[in-house]
Structure 1
Amino acid sequence: MGKRIVDVVAVLVVAIIAIAVSLWLTPMQSAEAVGQTVRVGAAAPSPSWSGPGEVDLFGQRLPTTIDFPGPVRPRLELTDLHLSTQLADLLGPDAPGSARAVAQHELRDALVSGWRDYLIVQTSIVVVVALLLMGAVAGWQRRRLRGSIVLVVIGVLVAAALNVGAVAATALSASDQLRGIDSLASLVGAAAITEPAPTVVPAAKAGSVVVIGDSTAAGIGNPPLPNPTPDDTVCERTSGSFASALGRAGDWSVTNLACSSATVGAGLLGEQKRGDTVLPPQLAAALKTGPSALIISVGANDAGWSHMVGVCAALPDCGGAASEAYFHQQLEAFARNYLVLLMRLRALPNPPTVIINQYYDPLPGKSDCVRDLGITEEKAKLLRGWLDSLNRVLAEGAAAASFRTAKPSFAGHGLCSPDPFVQGMDGNAPLHPTTAGGLAIALADQAVLIEAGVR
């Protein structure tokens, strides 16, 4: 009796180890969908018997909007996707019905096919690992040949059965569940944008550049514009913005539609309220002018960057679990909405040259001048890490959509330098670019515009 109990325990332990090892060793499987390759694998096992899978998007791991049965669920990698016009057909109700149906069908089939292939490879690895481990157990117990064969076969069969029960249930139901997905954005849980996508874009005007985005692009805290419009005043646009500097430094006609506190949803793709003024979506307003190039600065407000700086200054340890969780939650939400913005642009029949601005580091070098404000060198390093994560999302999304990026460098001109390119903590707009900082950003954009051949 005692020997049987030992055998049962050994078989179960081997099965668990074999499944765990297989999930670690099995490579993600590739499948063709919507004109590109998607990679399908398994998310980390969960103790619950149902829940979401994972979507890798721009370096962020996001839960799917679909709940799958079983403790092991699909993981879909979109990190290296290419946002083609064909893929833009998955955007949702604005896309043509027939094209959207074809794209949905391709995505569904790719996920199911990739998951099936992953299951076959993963199950094969389970069998091999279980075979080796049960053979070792039989040898350790010094069994006779027949007893060893029986024990090994039982162990392999149990491991395979447990694996199929834990993993295959998801594969068998994935097709039906995916039929509820009407867009790539809905798969990752992107917020619905109620404003309709532009359907007609005027022909591009030579030399016309439009800037859209947030307070960094608006240039807040610098000298006012000479003849501001009401919207300029409401949005805090200034003569120190990089848009103004770009207009002065190049041969382009530059229009600045950026607005302080803008996000992707409330500012770029949707209306933004500033006091009693309701501003139209910046992207739609920009496209109506027929720009030859569009420069976008967005993400800091979506990810709560200013809030994180305040948290770091106020708390003795701003790198705690709660702060990390908050920032990454905000960053994941931004990645979802950033996808919608990129796909809106890729869906345009004749999109302008698009440049995505990454954010500068306001504290390059030493941060001793802000130590009295509660930001130590350790905290500054943590803030840089969060900023790097935001810039990585911006860069990977731009690359996926085949857009260009510009990243200004404030090296030697950080907040604590003798000649800072950012406003001080007691300034009108702390850590935002000064007029000199706006010029540095403009020069980075100018280089990309010239490289892109924008005239």
Structure 2
Amino acid sequence: MPAFTALLIGALLLPAAPSSFAPEYVALGDSYAAGVGTPGSSGPCGQSPQAYPSLYAARQNLPVVHDEACTGASTADVVKDQLGDLTPGTSLVSVTVGGTDIGFSDVMTTCVIGSDSACLDKVHQAEGVIDGPLGGDLDRMFAAIRAKAPTAHIVVLGYPHVVEAGGACSLSSTKRQALNEGSDRLAAVTQARTAHAGADFRDARPAFAGHGYCGGDPWINGVSLLDIAGSFHPNAAGQREGYLPLLAG
């Protein structure tokens, strides 16, 4: 009996095990993930407290957050510049990427100021990248992430339709259709490579449906001379009402 009592007292004096696992979150990607186009976007990467990574971290009260998203980042840039904070203990990785690879800014600029035929040509060039090197670039990115964070849940948040098919704005129906078909192609390739990597694709197109540029309640900025970089990027509502529920879901 004295031996049992001593054992019981010793057990009670042992340090208590942590009551819960503290998740470690790393956000990767381009200007859509950084929050360019929302108030507060600043610094060389254009990160904003109103971007979905910051909103998610605040909602979940996450103790360990590393936001590496940066405007202009391609899939190769993610691999080269954004994986330094990944560890075997990383539990969640989010990423939005691919727009820079296909020349999103050039496409939108051409479609805003150019003719229908010029817009279609630029979209077709982007689709050539989507159907060509982008898939392999995504595969390499996923492999690099998995090598550093082998047990992390990788969530890929896609891009919305930037423009509504209906509604009043200066973009012709021909341009709108071409842009949205390009978005569909990008989503299809990204979803396929995400599935191949065992990651989780979240489709932003239905989340933003009815809220593209040209719509009555846009979550996508139009052209702004005061914030050229933020043109055709999600505004604060788009990050909060469009992307945040996607990541939280």
Task: Normalising by structure 1, report the TM-score.
Answer: 0.45
2:200 — aligned with what? 404
Q: How does 1:146-185 map to 2 (within 5 A)?
A: none
1:442 to 241, 244, 247: 244
Task: Normalising by structure 2, report the TM-score.
Answer: 0.80
TM-superposed deviation, 1:411: 1.7
Taking the aligned partners of 1:248 and 1:349, their CA distance within structure 2 comes to: 23
Would the aligned equivalents of 2:90 and 2:149 in 1 still touch at CA under 8 Å? no
Show CA shifts across 1:231-271 (max 9, x none): x6111101221112112322434432100000111x2112x
Taking the aligned partners of 1:422 and 1:323, their CA distance within structure 2 comes to: 21
Q: Does 1:368 align with 2:184?
A: no
Taking the aligned partners of 2:197 and 2:32, their CA distance within structure 1 comes to: 23
Give unmatched runs, 5+ long, in structure 1: 1-204, 226-231, 271-280, 448-455
Would the aligned equivalents of 1:303 and 1:390 in 2 still touch at CA under 8 Å? no
TM-superposed deviation, 1:223: 2.0
Would the aligned equivalents of 1:345 and 1:351 in 2 still touch at CA under 8 Å? no
Taking the aligned partners of 1:416 and 1:330, their CA distance within structure 2 comes to: 27
1:294 — aligned with what? 93
Runs of 4+ residues over 6 Å off in structure 1: none
Taking the aligned partners of 1:350 and 1:338, their CA distance within structure 2 comes to: 17
Counting strand residues as a fraction of each chain, which structure ranks higher?
1
Would the aligned equivalents of 2:219 and 2:237 in 1 still touch at CA under 8 Å? yes
Distance verdict in 2 for CA 1:290–1:303, change over 3 Å: same
Taking the aligned partners of 1:335 and 1:380, their CA distance within structure 2 comes to: 25
1:359 — aligned with what? 159
1:209 — aligned with what? 25
Distance verdict in 2 for CA 1:349–1:379, change over 3 Å: closer
Show CA shifts across 1:91-112 (max 9, x none): xxxxxxxxxxxxxxxxxxxxxx
TM-superposed deviation, 1:328: 2.8
Taking the aligned partners of 1:355 and 1:422, their CA distance within structure 2 comes to: 22
Taking the aligned partners of 1:291 and 1:416, their CA distance within structure 2 comes to: 40
Q: How does 1:74-89 map to 2 (within 5 A)?
A: none
Give unmatched runs, 5+ long, in structure 2: 1-20
Taking the aligned partners of 1:311 and 1:248, their CA distance within structure 2 comes to: 38
The size of the alignment, in residue pairs, is 220
1:59 — aligned with what? none
CA RMSD of aligned residues (A): 2.2
2:216 — aligned with what? 418
Distance verdict in 2 for CA 1:300–1:367, change over 3 Å: farther
Show CA shifts across 1:407-432 (max 9, x none): 23112222223332112212621111
Q: How does 1:1-400 map to 2 (within 5 A)?
A: 206-224=22-40, 233-253=43-63, 254-265=65-76, 267-270=77-80, 281-283=81-83, 285-288=84-87, 290-313=89-112, 314-318=114-118, 320=120, 322-323=121-122, 325-331=124-130, 332-348=132-148, 350-369=150-169, 371=170, 375-400=171-196
- Helix, strand or coil at the partner of 2:117: coil
TM-superposed deviation, 1:348: 4.9
Taking the aligned partners of 1:390 and 1:246, their CA distance within structure 2 comes to: 25
Distance verdict in 2 for CA 1:290–1:212, change over 3 Å: same
Taking the aligned partners of 2:177 and 2:124, their CA distance within structure 1 comes to: 17
Percent sequence identity is 23
Distance verdict in 2 for CA 1:366–1:324, change over 3 Å: closer
- Helix, strand or coil at the partner of 2:85: helix
1:87 — aligned with what? none
